[in-house]
Structure 1
Amino acid sequence: MVPSRRILVTLALVAAPWPPQVLASSTDSYDYIIVGAGTCGLLLANRLSQDANYTVAIIDPGADERDNPNVVDPLGWLGLTGTSVYWNYSSIPQEKLGGRVLEYDAGRGIGGTSLINGMTYIRGDKAQFDAWEQLGNPGWNWTTMLKHFKKIEQFFPPLPWQETAGALYEDEYHGTSGEMHVGFNPALLSGSFYGDVKASWAALGQTLNRDASSGDTAGFDVWPQTLDPVKNVRWDAATAFYWPVQDRPNLALLNGTVSRILWKNDEADVPEASGVEYLTPDGNIKTVNARREVILSAGALRTPLILELSGIGNPSILNGLGIETVVNSPGVGENLIDQSNVALTYSTKESFPGYAPYATFVNATSLFGDGVEALAASTKKSLPIWAQQIAAQTNGVISARAIEHRLQVQHDLIFKKGVTIAEILSSASGTTAISAYWDTLPFSRGSVHLSSANDINTPAINPRFLSVDFDLAVQVAVGRLATKFWTTAPISAVIEARVDPNSTILPDNATDAQWEDFTRSSLISNSHSLGTAAMMKREWGGVVDSQMRVYGTGNVRVVDASVLPMQVSGHLTATLYAVAERAGEMIVGDRSGL
């Protein structure tokens, strides 16, 4: 989770070995065009340009942030708030939050959101990845993903003093030769705080997890980050995958904002992209041709907009915007799944110098105890109702039956597979302690669509937070657990008082109604949006197949968070790198006839 703002900026093109200010002409052609120089796009560009026989162009409006101290410094990322490294997206007013408008984060720069995030490296639970196969994606499972997780990773084992401060890991789950550096923060908080936190969580039944990236997130852990602990610098997508190879003659970085895919003027049964159209910083519209594929890697909030502007989407939405339908794909922009973040802050009796990246993941049994079986039954009974509700929000273009199947898969993960459903961050800095917590597997589903065919930069984002009552119940239960933690010995001895919310807003003996009011008035987006061009069966609302090809097109793929069909109990960065790595293998395999 990171705070959000945006100030639009322009930049000089960085596209070695060509001169920095050279822009593509309308006749330039490449084998592959990748839209978006972010977490997935830059890894893909690296892989697809390894063979000098194929040319690759990346198109992005962002700047080179290598000299931005708040990007480079692993502790500086909160200082990026309000700077040009952000897109300033906002949600539409949220019905269940009293009409509140929420800010939405996305990174703007060469490296995308990997420039601005908290660098947390946690993958998710095995069963969550295995569930992707149930949604129509053969071969997408934990075993396959682990191979790709390890391939992209260069893991730095903790130093002895870091191990004492809680930095633990299991060697079998980590890679040693990949480009993405992963390690523990050099400023990791040492001293008694870690031991007290661990002991208090253990007293609440949350025992130590030596490696939350092992496919089992449950329990308390100290997480690693996407950083180089030796150099003490952030290791973003550009640092790992682009800057080291920017001089490849077959790799270009073009400066601009892509608006739409262009189509070949032929009578083919399946539309094929001829290239893309983009707007340069000086306001010129340019086109660039794709000989093989167009790959969208613009992120879960932006990729659906490009698809819609290109004529791929729900015909009723496209017609209302004056856009001709090329491919009827009603799932575009639907199935937006985000997590709602709430924070509690406390004052402490002593000062804590250092960084404390502590996470506690809990499952339904941890939250609801003896009541979990009754909750499982009542929730199962509610699935058809929720499915009908979500189907109605899509104006019926996705059937309630299809949605109910997807919700049933999630229900099984929670109540049969025992995956974790909430995360609590526990930390301290100076004389402030904090818990930030969120429901990792919400049932609520939202959407993101164009608000105008003339403005791709102001999407209509509607996460529909808490539109399913189960999500509110989980969020309240997690809040109560987070509060209980700080009043449990031995950590309770260092706490002076709860500062926010104060006792007037949320008394120590607060009722469920008071907790619900507080939650509705204070939650924000966790910046983990996904699912808006889901990799799923087409009849269930899927937009791309298991090869990440856009249904109904011949040569368009999506490789970013929008293809993830459901949330994971982890942070998206690790999963997105692995997804992009697998996509690269698929595309290279296609051109090699494998």
Structure 2
Amino acid sequence: MATVAVYDYIVVGAGTCGSLLANRLSSNPELSVALIDPGVDTRGNEAVEDPAQWIEVGQTSLNWDYQSEPQPQLGNRRLSMPAGKGIGGTSLINGMTYVRGDKAQFDAWESIGNPGWNWDSMLQYYIELEHLFAPNQWQLDAGASYDEHYHGFDGELSVGFNPDLHNGTFYNLARETWASLGHDHNDDVNRGVTDGFSIWPQTLDPVKNTRADAATAFLWPIADRNNLFFVNGTASRVAWGNESCLPVAQGVDFIAADGSLQTALARKEVILAAGALRTPLILEKSGVGHAARLQNLDIDVVVDLPGVGENMIEQPNNVIVYNNAAGPIPGYTPYGTFITAKELFGADEEKIALQTKESIPAYAEQIVKGSNGALEIAAVQKLLEIQYNIMFEQNTTIAEVFTAASGTSLASAFWALMPLSRGSVHLKTKEAINDPQIDPHYLDNPLDVHTQVEIGRLCSKFWAGTGIDFTTIAGAQANATNEEWTTFIKDTVAANSHSLGSTAMMSRDLGGVVDDQLRVYGTRGLRVVDAGVLPLQFSGHLTATLYAVAQRAAEMILKGSL
């Protein structure tokens, strides 16, 4: 094993969070920063740069395309679990949607051991990072809207409304139809209230018509800094030192591009930003995780931290597709509708809320059983009670619908925003760092199934209400029975690519992995900054919040380095 070099900071993963962290930490010329990632430089890749090709680029080698474990509740199907593989990570292949979430969901972070983490504190980081391109008049006429008080105009991250935005009659038809179903227009989905119908802004430059991925925004503009070092390799494990009573992260072992095993050393900190589906593997291979699991893998236990890889929450996604007999609808339609429990369940909402509340102990027991004893019933029950409060008592949005028209195809992609099901991600074997054991437990919880069915029914009502002459290509009929809808949902559900929580930021007694400073419990010099630290699902898309978390983390780290 060879030692490559010594740096002040080592960042593992050049994705959404890692790219920003490398930028901020290397802004101090007295600090040396290594960024370790196995991905390729995608500059000049037209499929990445072109916002219109976001679906196609996800089908290339830039997607790890992990496979889940067989899902018994889905007929033992394995589901594709996308994750970006390149400098820029998943921001290279995602749909670029820029939606933050609901205020109450972020405020709940404080109640699980994270003082100072709430909507108001996060808002400043969203604004600092953002460079919003205010919509042109034609885009305003086509439905784009925003409230300038919630946006930034001087940051590095380009956010704008799609330059190919549909500007015909379908927008007004969609808006009026959703309103007829009780879902009025939301003037700014990023103000901490997502409820209603709106047009999504996206992480793109609408003038150049190019994707604003993490590398484009934060890495390539500063790539020539002489204190920033790109290391092409796959991080394998944390190398430990013995300078204190706690294990100290001394560096990172990684597999270099030539296949050799090498080590990079860190004077100050190692920061894992490999993503919710990879960081738990690095921790486990480093001896940090559930002791019983590590011992079964023949890994020496450094820190018994049972929450590693547990508490993973992923959203189920279904799509209904129709053929528009009237002909093609031109332009891009990033139309989002966010829906509360009261709106979705109607007269049944109080009954469903009561049934859910009474079932929380049983749900907690089921989740703990699925964790093979890694989690505690009392802890999981508390987390579910907090989620119940957010969903039913604070009435935040629990469902999202993407209304799309492309050519002669009409579609609704829809998902439960706050599923009660909990999954996990772990090492399969001691050496399988690129082959995670992902078990999302999709639709394990009966409320998740019911929610998904009711969203599907609502989508059918929407399309019927438009008056468009269409034929169904994929989906249950509007008058289908509950059994038929449930079969359709389970047979066609896919990943929504919003996995989080696998290294959750919350108190250790709740199963947390990192504290409110994102430091891994029981260690020194080791942090996690990626989607795994987000402890609860929220009514948004991950990108905006991951950038904000990384910005806040960089601020913490730099203050500590002074």
> Common fold, TM-score beyond 0.5?
yes
The residue number in structure 1 matching 2:471 is 497
* Residue 424 (str. 1) matches residue 394 (str. 2): no
Structure 2 counterpart of 1:300, from 239, 261, 276: 276
In 2: Cα distance, 1:32 partner to 1:307 partner: 17
Determine if contact 2:461/2:478 at 8 Å carries over to the other structure: no
Note the C-alpha offset of 1:324.
Answer: 0.2
Q: Aligned letter for 1:498?
A: T
The residue number in structure 2 matching 1:590 is 560
Structure-to-structure mapping, 1:186-265, within 5 angstroms: 186-265=163-242
Determine if contact 1:129/1:140 at 8 Å carries over to the other structure: yes
Structure-to-structure mapping, 1:522-541, within 5 angstroms: 522-541=492-511
In 2: Cα distance, 1:219 partner to 1:60 partner: 39
Following TM superposition, the consecutive aligned residue runs of length 4 or more in structure 1 with deviations greater than 6 angstroms are none
The residue number in structure 2 matching 1:376 is 353
Structure 2 counterpart of 1:277, from 247, 250, 253: 253
In 2: Cα distance, 1:359 partner to 1:322 partner: 47
In 2: Cα distance, 1:495 partner to 1:126 partner: 39
In 2: Cα distance, 1:79 partner to 1:99 partner: 27
For normalisation by structure 1, the TM-score amounts to: 0.93
Structure-to-structure mapping, 1:396-407, within 5 angstroms: 396-407=373-384
The residue number in structure 2 matching 1:346 is 322
Note the C-alpha offset of 1:308.
Answer: 0.2
* Residue 150 (str. 1) matches residue 127 (str. 2): yes
The residue number in structure 2 matching 1:36 is 13
Note the C-alpha offset of 1:373.
Answer: 1.2
- Count, aligned residues: 561
Determine if contact 2:4/2:262 at 8 Å carries over to the other structure: no
* Residue 108 (str. 1) matches residue 82 (str. 2): no
Note the C-alpha offset of 1:428.
Answer: 0.3
The residue number in structure 2 matching 1:569 is 539
In 2: Cα distance, 1:88 partner to 1:417 partner: 36
Residues 414-447 of structure 1: per-residue CA shift (max 9 Å, x gap): 1111100000000101111100000000000000
Residues 526-551 of structure 1: per-residue CA shift (max 9 Å, x gap): 00000000000101000000000000
In 2: Cα distance, 1:522 partner to 1:94 partner: 13
The residue number in structure 2 matching 1:159 is 136
In 1: Cα distance, 2:157 partner to 2:469 partner: 37
In 1: Cα distance, 2:344 partner to 2:483 partner: 18
The residue number in structure 1 matching 2:485 is 515
Determine if contact 1:57/1:251 at 8 Å carries over to the other structure: yes
The residue number in structure 2 matching 1:78 is 55
Determine if contact 1:156/1:183 at 8 Å carries over to the other structure: yes
* Residue 559 (str. 1) matches residue 529 (str. 2): yes
In 2: Cα distance, 1:500 partner to 1:46 partner: 45
Note the C-alpha offset of 1:466.
Answer: 1.1
Structure 1 counterpart of 2:427, from 432, 439, 450: 450
Structure 2 counterpart of 1:96, from 62, 68, 73: 73
Determine if contact 1:344/1:436 at 8 Å carries over to the other structure: yes
The residue number in structure 2 matching 1:311 is 287
Determine if contact 2:235/2:255 at 8 Å carries over to the other structure: yes
Secondary structure of 2:337's match? strand
Q: 1:73 to 1:148 in 2, by over 3 A?
A: same
Determine if contact 1:170/1:210 at 8 Å carries over to the other structure: yes
Secondary structure of 1:354's match? coil
Q: Aligned letter for 2:23?
A: N
Secondary structure of 2:52's match? coil
Secondary structure of 2:313's match? coil
**Gaps (5+ residues) in structure 2?**
none
Determine if contact 1:270/1:553 at 8 Å carries over to the other structure: yes
Structure-to-structure mapping, 1:431-446, within 5 angstroms: 431-446=408-423
Shifted more, 277-286 versus 547-556: the winner is 277-286
In 2: Cα distance, 1:184 partner to 1:114 partner: 17
Determine if contact 1:34/1:297 at 8 Å carries over to the other structure: yes
In 2: Cα distance, 1:59 partner to 1:272 partner: 19
Residues 341-363 of structure 1: per-residue CA shift (max 9 Å, x gap): 00001111121111000000000
Note the C-alpha offset of 1:318.
Answer: 0.5
Determine if contact 2:100/2:545 at 8 Å carries over to the other structure: yes
Residues 466-508 of structure 1: per-residue CA shift (max 9 Å, x gap): 11111001000100001110001xx22x23211113xxxx344
For normalisation by structure 2, the TM-score amounts to: 0.99
In 2: Cα distance, 1:555 partner to 1:81 partner: 35
